[in-house]
Amino acid sequence: MGNHILKGLLVIVLFCPLTTIAQIVDTRQHVDTLSTSERLSLRTNAVDWLLLVPNLGVEYDIGKFNWNRWSAGLNIRFRPGSSHTFKPGIVYNVTEFRAEVRNYYRIRPFDGRNVVRQKHFWDRLVSARRPASRHPKTVYYRGAFLGYNTYSLKLGKEGKQGNAIIGGVMWGMVKPLYEFGNGHSLDLEFAAAVGVAYAKYDIYTHDREDDCYPKTGNKTTLMPIVNELRVGFVYRLGKYPLSKKYRWRYDVDKRYQDVVDSVISARKMERNNKQFMDSLDAVARKMFWSKYDSIAPRNKAKSDSIKLKETTQKAKQKEAEKAAKIAEKKAKAEAKKEEKQRKKDAKKPEDVPQVVTEQKTEGKEGAQ
């Protein structure tokens, strides 16, 4: 155990020259192009060293500018089995290869312009926007990992030997410690990684008499797992410390600021114009409805009087039409009656002259 701890301390000492200066927050506003060495860093987890598991990781920034916030890394844990003249009752062998992707971010205080308050609860959980930045030197990250693990563990009566595929998410923070005289820097890292493991392993016991490990069964399982609790150190190569990296693009790129500002100004002007037009529309509607409400009763009374007059005229017209029809019927009946009388009167004169003539003849004969 002492040898492993000494090896771990030796690795850290080799990476850390003695001349150091404290890091400060970088506020420069220009884009820097990083070299290959400035994008490269090495890291190790002190918790694994305390658990007697040597480990080493390498990380490489995906982008070449100082506003890049994505990186890819590879971690290796390796504790091989030691040789013994007899089979030990405690077995502790672990080998793990893990690939991961990280997204770094810095806290962005609300300013009411470029950084506004979140509207939804779920946005607050993952957003980097906060009322204030209490630790401006600290950089946070979130990421995902995928690992392959082979192990043989026996700390009690039964041991397990097999392999597992592990995937999950992680969250952590990195705080700068020192910047060395050669330009390299050292950071302190805290993180946790949780996920799901798909494991296949054999179950065995220790037979002291035969000095062997008889197999008693096997199992396949899918289970949640805490893959790592990290209190580690990050050694950054090159002359570009953490205080200058993983910054928001708006803070370092003037041209990008101008574009963002123009977009924000256009959106603000559009919003103000919309509010102005909405206010004009509201005023116009208010004036219209107030005028309409004042005129509507008079128009309604006028409309009602017109309707009443039209109804009266229609009733009078119907009565007149009805009276005309009745008069017409009467006139037709009288005309028909007169026609009959005329015909009757026309027949009477033809009979009268004959009678008179006969009377005159009879008179003459009597006179003779």
**Residue 167 CB-density burial (10 A; 0-12 exposed, 13-18 middle, 19+ buried):** middle
Comparing CA positions, the residue from 238, 143, 250, 158 lying closest to residue 201 is: 158
Contacts of 219 (CB under 8 A, 6+ apart): 200, 201, 203
pLDDT in tens, 338-367: 888 887 777 765 554 554 455 555 555 544
The region of weakest confidence among 108-117, 136-145, 172-181, 213-222 is 108-117
- The pLDDT value recorded for residue 350 is 54
CA angle 63, 65, 68 (to 5 degrees): 55
Which of 111-125, 189-203, 287-301 is most confident?
A: 189-203
Q: Which of the two residues, 59 and 89, has the higher pLDDT score?
A: 59
37 DSSP 8-state letter: G
For CA atoms 317, 318, 323, 324, the dihedral sign is positive
Instruction: Quote the CA–CA distance of 104 and 173 in Å, as a whole number.
Output: 9
| Under 8 Å between Cβ of 36 and 60 | no
Which of 166-175, 212-221, 265-274 is most confident?
A: 166-175
State the pLDDT confidence band at 126, using cuts at 50, 70 and 90.
low
- The pLDDT value recorded for residue 226 is 94
Comparing CA positions, the residue from 225, 221, 100, 83 lying closest to residue 163 is: 221
Angstrom CA distances, 204 to 99, 158, 218, 324, stand at 30, 6, 9, 124
Contacts of 70 (CB under 8 A, 6+ apart): 61, 62, 63, 101, 102, 103, 104
- The pLDDT value recorded for residue 349 is 56
The chain-wide mean pLDDT, for the chain, equals 81
Instruction: Quote the CA–CA distance of 252 and 258 in Å, as a whole number.
Output: 12
Comparing CA positions, the residue from 179, 178, 136, 131 lying closest to residue 25 is: 136
Our measurement of the distance from residue 322's CA atom to the centroid of its chain's CA atoms, rounded to an integer in Å, reads 78
- The pLDDT value recorded for residue 19 is 44
Instruction: Quote the CA–CA distance of 336 and 91 in Å, as a whole number.
Output: 140
The region of weakest confidence among 31-45, 80-94, 128-142, 272-286 is 80-94
Comparing CA positions, the residue from 256, 188, 161 lying closest to residue 22 is: 188
Count the residues in the chain: 368
- The pLDDT value recorded for residue 258 is 84
Q: Which of the two residues, 108 and 42, has the higher pLDDT score?
A: 42
- The pLDDT value recorded for residue 91 is 85
Counting residues of the chain whose pLDDT is more than 90, the rounded percentage is: 34
